[in-house]
Structure 1
Amino acid sequence: MTKKLVIFLHGVGSNGDDLAGLGPHWAPLLPATAFAAPDAPFRFDHGPGFQWFSLDGVTAQNRGERVREARAAFDKTLHGLLSAHQITQPEKVLLVGFSQGSIMALDALASGRWPLAGVVAFSGRLATPDPLMPVRNAPVLLVHGRADPVIPWEETESAALRLKAAGMSVETLFESGVGHTISGSGAQRAVNFIARCFNGSEH
């Protein structure tokens, strides 16, 4: 039976299929691991695709509240996936987010709601309001392109400082010349990180 689960969380205006292709590439390095790539619970405001929360009128000041309001639907999505894969321990689950998906992945861990095996956040930011209250010192990998025109790479630098201040283990990868995307080298760093997270959670 599958013992571990990687859940991909897509960016705003996209869908689960956008990241699902990483699963088959990573599978050989992650034995006994299943992959899930759900659509976010809400339809995108401005076209096809889905969103974890609306960007309409979002500001630095109200983003944290948007994330808080999105938690119930997000948690329902994750609980459904864990049930479908017959996984009862969040410690066997790792979240991989991109952009808005990264915001939700980091919030799941930093808010203390999900004692995960770890989180990988590509091109994201930490929008969780203080105080951060992680209930498990799960490792975090933050990956960001220095040429990102959508979410500045400094957001990841700030996230790393806040997460470390909350006592979390954080690794970062800043990639020169990379925009708002997942690069091949970023993906490789991520799967190696995930393998270490899961090996460390074997008891």
Structure 2
Amino acid sequence: MNPEDLEFLPEQGEPLQLMVLLHGVGSQPAHLRPLADVLRRQFPQAAVLVPAGFEPFDAGPVAGHQWFSVRGIDEDQRVERVARSLPALLARIRAEQARLGVEARATALFGFSQGAIMALEAVQADPALAGRVLAFSGRYARLPEQAPPETTIHLFHGSADPVIDAAHSRAAMQHLSGLSAGDATLDLAEGVGHELHAALVDRALHRLTHHVPLRLWQAAMASPGN
């Protein structure tokens, strides 16, 4: 573990949920502390973990971290770099699930910017990794051929994002809606840029507490008597 990692456990009792927050490129776990605090208040029995990116930031003087390098990146290189960085992240999440005794279906991955890319691609690489992904201001490295059947994808984006265009989230939502077993939502905040805006965080809480995953609806409808 990195000494900059943040970990918050329930004040009493064992954790019933696991929430893993992945920061953006060149950032640090502390930058996601406000989101972690919101989640802890809303879900007091959740374990909230904010790991540091596994590599030092290499594209500027900022003393932050990255999940993969963006130096000289293009569309093909993004796919390759994400693929190289995923095994370590998957192993970390699986290890935390085992340590804390929380199942995949009770695990939620949150990501901002580059962290959103990692969260989205993590459940493509391991479709049984998490019950939900909440991706803020992010994108897929490459739009998936199949939707993870056990995962609900929640996309959040500012319409005026100058770093990762909101068109990526719109395209992802349209694409996921057309895939078999795809379960996804999209929330856009008008005039908001590349940030974890309070309006988007509020929508994330609403999705977590009100959205019933498609797979649960389907199971209920398939039960005897329906």
Shorter-chain TM-score above 0.5? yes
Match of residue 175 from structure 2: 162
The CA deviation at 1:57 is: 1.8
Alignment of 1:61-100 (within 5 A): 61-87=76-102, 89-100=103-114
User: Using the alignment, how far apart are the partners of 1:198 and 1:35 within structure 2?
Assistant: 22
Residue 152 of structure 1, aligned match among 155, 160, 165: 165
Alignment of 1:38-77 (within 5 A): 38-45=51-58, 46=60, 47-77=62-92
Task: Name the larger-Rg structure.
Answer: 2
Residues 43-90 of structure 1: CA distance to partner in whole angstroms, max 9, x if unpaired?
111331111111112111221111111111211222333244232x21
User: Using the alignment, how far apart are the partners of 2:209 and 2:36 within structure 1?
Assistant: 13
Mean CA deviation greater in 21-30 or 62-71: 21-30
1:29 aligns with 2:42: yes
Residues 78-129 of structure 1: CA distance to partner in whole angstroms, max 9, x if unpaired?
2333244232x21110001000000011111233444411011000001146
Q: 1:162 to 1:198 in 2, by over 3 A?
A: closer
User: Using CA pairs below 8 Å that are at least 6 residues apart, which structure has the higher relative contact order?
Assistant: 1
Q: 1:130 to 1:21 in 2, by over 3 A?
A: closer
SS for the counterpart of 1:180 is coil
User: Using the alignment, how far apart are the partners of 1:197 and 1:111 within structure 2?
Assistant: 24
Residue 105 of structure 1, aligned match among 113, 119, 123: 119
Structure 2 unaligned blocks of 5 or more: 1-13, 217-226
Q: 1:133 to 1:156 in 2, by over 3 A?
A: closer
Q: 1:198 to 1:86 in 2, by over 3 A?
A: farther
User: Using the alignment, how far apart are the partners of 1:63 and 1:193 within structure 2?
Assistant: 29
Match of residue 133 from structure 2: 119
Instruction: Output the amino acid matched with 1:139.
Output: T
Q: In the alignment, is the contact (CA less than 8 A) between 1:108 and 1:114 conserved in 2?
A: no
Q: In the alignment, is the contact (CA less than 8 A) between 1:30 and 1:195 conserved in 2?
A: no
User: Using the alignment, how far apart are the partners of 1:164 and 1:93 within structure 2?
Assistant: 22
Residues 12-32 of structure 1: CA distance to partner in whole angstroms, max 9, x if unpaired?
000111112222223232242
User: Using the alignment, how far apart are the partners of 1:37 and 1:197 within structure 2?
Assistant: 24
The CA deviation at 1:35 is: 0.6
Cα RMSD for the two superposed structures: 2.2
SS for the counterpart of 1:21 is helix
Match of residue 2 from structure 1: 15
Structure 1 unaligned blocks of 5 or more: none
Count of aligned pairs:
199
- State the TM-score, normalized to the length of structure 1: 0.88
